[in-house]
Amino acid sequence: MQHDKNHVDPILTAIINGDRHLSLRAKINQLSKIRVGAVSYLNTKPLLFGIRKHPVFAEIALTEDYPSKIAQMLVDDEIDIGLVPVATTLRLKEWHIHSDYCIGSDGAVASVCIFSEVQMPEIKSVYLDYQSKTSVNLAKVLLKEYWKKDVEFIDATGEDFREQINGTTAGVVIGDRALEQRKKSKYIYDLGEAWKKYTGLPFVFAAWIANKKLPDKFITAFNEANALGFNSMEEVIKENQFIPFDLRTYYTSCISYKLDEEKKKGLKLFLEKLENLSKT
């Protein structure tokens, strides 16, 4: 693997500094691992379940965080592959999708929505969740092209923005927090559902994207690991209890994990719209 010469890997730093908590063999083994980043949301649990159960787990160094953080790590070459928002590809000099699995939807997704106390025609401003650029950009595309809305956008900088969803101010909320927000807000505009109605295509929120070509043997094993998780849904549900929303419904009806040809068409269309959006 090639790394930015200006970037110092934390594990390499540990070796240089003689970290006594790791044996020399352990340090060398860490350096040879492929650095993988993943989103720490409920929707990634099935895929990560398979990765942890598969022998490929011994070949990786796994980091979990919220989407935009993992995306930045991929851009900065702090990881080699990440389950990142697809808009990240516009910031990469080189990128490859290395799995047949993704975080997608073919209709309502439940966990990526615009929440409001008033109906869409009355919304005047929208808070934008800081945790994912893809969801924020999807909201911008749909507000402009589908709902024909010209609103003020407010970049959220912390969790308190959800308390500001009131009156004519709405908010884009994603992930597990969106599933909780469904219990609080009067009006819910599901972005997966709106995209499907607008384009007739499914949507890809995040995919396994690498910033360099990875070994074919690893890609094959990594894909097998994702498949293992996908086919172990009942075990995943048992391991992850979540009161605000039924996980069986979420995993089997809301999230669509297979990166098929229709999703690739939806992904291509979205990236084209993003490029057009950046020009306006």
DSSP state of 253: I
DSSP state of 250: I
The overall longest dimension of the chain from CA atoms, in Å, is 63
Give pLDDT tens digits for 199-258.
999 999 999 999 999 999 999 999 999 999 999 999 999 999 898 999 999 999 999 999
What's the CA gap between 35 and 170, in Å, rounded?
37
Q: In this model, does residue 10 exceed pLDDT 90?
A: no
Q: In this model, does residue 14 exceed pLDDT 80?
A: no
Residue 112: its pLDDT value, please? 97
Residue 192's nearest CA partner among 251, 135, 125 is 135
Residue 92: its pLDDT value, please? 95
What length does the chain have? 280
Please state, as a whole number, how many other Cβ atoms lie within 10 Å of the Cβ of residue 113.
28
Four-residue CA torsion sign, 110, 242, 48, 11: positive
Contact 102, 253 (CB under 8 A): no
Q: In this model, does residue 45 exceed pLDDT 50?
A: yes
Give pLDDT tens digits for 126-172.
999 988 889 999 999 999 999 999 999 999 987 789 999 999 999 99
214 Rama sector, left if φ>0, alpha if ψ -120 to 50, beta otherwise: beta
Please state, as a whole number, how many other Cβ atoms lie within 10 Å of the Cβ of residue 228.
18
Please state, as a whole number, how many other Cβ atoms lie within 10 Å of the Cβ of residue 67.
31
Of 84-93, 244-253, 270-279, where does mean pLDDT reach its minimum? 270-279
Average per-residue pLDDT in the chain?
90
Global pTM reads: 0.86
Q: Any residues with CB less than 8 A from the CB of 18 and at least 6 apart, and which? A: none
Give pLDDT tens digits for 100-114.
999 999 999 999 999
Give pLDDT tens digits for 130-142.
888 899 999 999 9
Element (DSSP H or E) covering residue 113: strand 112-116
Contact 195, 86 (CB under 8 A): no
Q: φ, ψ for residue 116 (rounded to 5)? A: -155, 160
DSSP state of 20: T
Contact 171, 139 (CB under 8 A): no
Looking at the chain, the whole-number percentage of residues with pLDDT higher than 70 is: 88
Encoded amino acid at 207, one letter: A
What's the CA gap between 239 and 127, in Å, rounded?
33
Encoded amino acid at 212, one letter: K
